Amino acid sequence: MTRDNIPPDEPGAGSGFACVFQSGDMQTRKVMLRLRNHLRTQGVDDATLGTAELVLAEVCNNITEHGYATAPGPIQLVLHCEGDGLVCIVTDYGVPLPEGTPPSAPPDPPWCLPEGGFGWHIIRTLTDRLDYHCHPGFNRLDLRIPILPVN
């Protein structure tokens, strides 16, 4: 993988989605567009598409801003549909989360918040499973996004 190139989806992913890309805002946007297009071909509804894009963009932005704060690095994203949810695994080689776990406190009232600080609240609110593990040399976040019922 080159710094400015996103490789094609990895072979063997079946109906899933898998890619490795360099951290950064533009690369994240490109991957989110590819992910949205892939999920659309799998019949995932627009509301769930938007939720998946929001959650995974927040995760990737956190990795870019905090895990790779001093220099870009690779992010691996693997996703597949399983029952009534999208199962996602995000792996990076950046700085681990402080205290080895995602922040869990709900945000302060809106009038007290700084410009940022909503990311983990959004991620926790829109997922029904969230597991973070810091392994020697890499971080792994497993999450599940419910597929919303179609009315």
Q: What is the CATH number of the domain that holds 36?
A: 3.30.565.10
**Better-scored residue on pLDDT, 139 or 12:** 139
Residue found by looking up tokens 């040399």 in the block: 137
Number of domains in the chain: 1
Cα–Cα dist 122/106, whole Å: 10
Express the helix, strand and coil content of the chain in percent, nearest 5 each: 35, 25, 40
Average pLDDT value for the chain = 85
Q: Return d(Cα 141, Cα 116) in angstroms, integer.
A: 21
Tell whether 7 is covered by a domain: no
pLDDT per residue as tens digits for the range 56-83 = 999 999 999 999 999 999 999 999 999 8
- Entry pTM: 0.84
- Residue 124's domain comprises 17-146
